[in-house]
Structure 1
């Protein structure tokens, strides 16, 4: 199979990056988009063979979009850099896209340890997923891990540059009548020492959850 690019938005993930990058399957090429790290994440990513791209504008969506623009592979995956998701699960998502069975394959988080997905974060996700189902998209999560063809994603023209990016992506995919498949992926505690102030911040505190839901509700409006 051709090379697959994996975009990892990153803000102070020095503790997690070595394990995440080492776990990437053969043929999966890391693009770490640094969103202003001060803990040496960029140097660590480079030492482990990743392409490092800076994105000075803070925001999950900004980092993801920059990674997509810099990707060159036909199929691109997206993965949190905090160690909570297993890169070894990416090929099962890619298989659906490569075979044409889906235009977008997304992960449905299944917690593997108590406390790795706090009640407030889970409740916020359930509310947003319910709103998506009302719009005809039968998903139960907000695509923390995903795979699609680069050209398709660029044509969707997702505009959000904050935490609302994954929700807007799903909404635009539904509006375009894309076949979307949702697959179970293991959800683990983030690597000790990571601060995960990007996508992971939605689960990190009640305040983070409120901010994430607010950003995503703005996309729905």
Structure 2
């Protein structure tokens, strides 16, 4: 079994599609980060384990899900229907082939799937990470997989939007083999709380730059 952690804030409309496409052998852990649209109830009705995380923040939700997971391999992905859970077995296969951390490199697969300001912010951060950590990544995407105990041992501390970057930065510092696979990136259901607005993108970039400054190279 592979536990799939889905941080969630008001994604009731998207969750049925996401959870109904969860591959066999994958258990969805939906971390409700203060939804007001009944996301938790929708997730439970579709068979997900629902974890409540009252502390707001993307990293807080991700880490709460990691704490609730019990499987050897865990995966992360967004709950907004922008990523297809059907791609997750490919990431797990890359771990079996020798990778320690596998990231899904987003490839837009529909009009409006990835706004220009969000792509630009992501590219700038990826270049900064590559210079800092010696990686050769193109994307800091939210779909990823690794082994649970190893992730916990990294001591991830950020609880905001810097969490995904800190994971990669600390993994590179620990000498992990980091792989990247192309995954289709679909137009999300509803409006993104992060990349859907320039303000949200700026906030995410700011958090990630803070992590780059704080985590030793």
TM over 0.5: yes
Q: Count the aligned residue pairs.
A: 212
Structure 1 residues without counterparts, runs of 5 or longer: none
- Does the 8 Å CA contact 1:11/1:196 hold for their aligned counterparts? no
Deviations along 1:40-81, one digit per CA (max 9) or x if unpaired, are 101100000000000000000000000000000000000100
Match of 2:45 in 1: 47
- CA displacement at 1:98 relative to structure 2: 2.8
Kindly report structure 1 stretches of 4+ aligned residues shifted beyond 3 Å. none
Alignment partners' CA distance in 1, 2:155 and 2:135 = 19
Aligned mate of 1:31, from 29, 37, 48: 29
Alignment partners' CA distance in 2, 1:211 and 1:92 = 31
- Does the 8 Å CA contact 1:45/1:52 hold for their aligned counterparts? yes
Structure 1 position 219 matched with structure 2 position 211: yes
Aligned residues: CA RMSD: 0.8
Aligned mate of 2:167, from 166, 169, 175: 169
Structure 1 position 112 matched with structure 2 position 109: yes
Structure 1 position 130 matched with structure 2 position 127: yes
Alignment partners' CA distance in 1, 2:92 and 2:156 = 21
- CA displacement at 1:196 relative to structure 2: 3.7
Structure 2 residues without counterparts, runs of 5 or longer: none
TM-score in terms of structure 2 length: 0.96
Query: Secondary structure at 2:181's aligned position in 1?
Result: strand
TM-score in terms of structure 1 length: 0.94
Matches within 5 A, 1:1-221: 3-99=1-97, 101-135=98-132, 136-191=134-189, 194-197=190-193, 201=194, 203-221=195-213
